[in-house]
Amino acid sequence: MAGEMVDYDEFAYFADNAAEFGIAYGGPPTVRRESLPMPDRRNLSALVWGEAEPELVLVHGGAQNAHTWDTVCLALGRPLIAVDMPGHGHSDAPADGVANVGRNAQDLAVVIRALAPGAHTVVGMSLGGLTTMALSAHEPGLFETMFLVDVTPGVTNEKAKVIADFVNGPESFDSLDDLLARAIEFNPTRTESSLRRGILHNAEQSEDGSWVWRHARHKVFGHNKTSDRVASTASDNDESPNHEELWQAIEHHQGPVVLARGMREESVVDDADEAELRRLRPDARIEQFVEAGHSIQGDMPVELAALIDEVAGRP
């Protein structure tokens, strides 16, 4: 039997985010949602934080959405945009329903030029990080600093199996409590309150009271194939860069490269990935987050924000 209807306001949880992580909170931040028409009549969505020209672009991982960065944004307190990737959050599906990092990068370039043309740093987590690499290859010079959150081109489906198992779970849930129970099972170190907020941002309630994920897993990716798009660059479309091409994108990126690596077992980055990054980019900055898994922005958001702030500098 489906659960009772739950009210949802996407801007109602910032005080809770701040309180959980000890961030000073002087009232609701200035945040608005922008819907950007694409040339092919799709719409991509983003959260715009602050009123000044955005300095940063935050790109979430597969099966996530722009709100995954909320606590990081509160800790940063600087103008930025957090993008909903194609087929995620409030954004329409990828072009022709085909998801790959090459097409994602093309879409992201349009969003950056429209909403954050002066942004100097792109922070990409997981799939967002792979997209950031492809963006550098697709649009050299569009941004300066490539900031990768727990991802390198060395990521594989095997490394991301736990993540894929979670994403490829049931298509729907009878109640919010059922969905929360599954989230707790796969994220035992996160607080129940933070997981509940994440679910409210990343799932939606159907008219019958049941819950489904916002990301278009079955419409866009195909049943049981999400991991092919979340955990790797595998695609049926030749426009998607392969792993070698993404390593080359990092090597030839015209600006600083930073890797924030989670050190718990849920991370998808290993020592071999770190060594390859150091080989190709001896100047790369690599910071290890001991108490974080794959989603550093959820496990250690304040510490991640401090690193972003240091790397990005202040105007």
Long-range contacts of 304-308 (CB under 8 A, 24+ apart): 304/72, 304/149, 304/260, 305/71, 305/72, 305/73, 305/75, 305/76, 306/75, 307/258, 307/260, 308/56, 308/72, 308/76, 308/121, 308/123, 308/147
- 99 pLDDT band, cuts 50/70/90, is confident
What is the b/e burial string over 157-166, where b = at least 16 CB atoms within 10 angstroms of the residue's CB? eebbeebbee
Residue 97 DSSP class: G
Q: What is the mean pLDDT of residues 24-44?
A: 96
Measure the CA–CA gap between 83 and 91, rounded to whole angstroms: 9
Task: Please give the single-letter amino acid code of residue 79.
Answer: P
Residues paired with residue 213 on neighbouring β-strands, in sequence order: 203
Instruction: Please measure the distance between the N-terminal and C-terminal CA atoms of the chain and give it in whole angstroms.
Output: 54
pLDDT of the residue at 89 = 95
pTM confidence score: 0.92
- Side-chain-side CA neighbours of 112 within 13 Å: the count stands at 25
Label residue 212 exposed, middle or buried (CB < 10 Å: 0-12, 13-18, 19+). middle
List, for residues 223-235, the tens digit of each pLDDT value: 223 333 333 333 3
157/205: higher pLDDT: 205
CATH class of 14-312: alpha beta
Lowest mean pLDDT among 15-19, 93-97, 216-220, 248-252: 216-220
pLDDT of the residue at 168 = 81
Q: What is the mean pLDDT of residues 13-33?
A: 98
Measure the CA–CA gap between 194 and 305, rounded to whole angstroms: 17
Residue bearing tokens 């796969």: 186
List, for residues 142-198, the tens digit of each pLDDT value: 999 999 999 999 988 888 888 888 888 898 999 999 999 999 998 888 999 999 999
Does residue 298 surpass a pLDDT of 70? yes
Task: Please give the single-letter amino acid code of residue 105.
Answer: A
Average pLDDT, the chain: 90
Asked if residue 171 lies in contact with residue 218, where contact means CB atoms within 8 angstroms, the answer is yes
Does residue 1 surpass a pLDDT of 60? no
Measure the CA–CA gap between 183 and 181, rounded to whole angstroms: 5
* Selection from 248, 218, 216 nearest residue 65 by Cα: 216
Catalytic residue positions, numbered: 126, 150, 294
- 95 pLDDT band, cuts 50/70/90, is confident
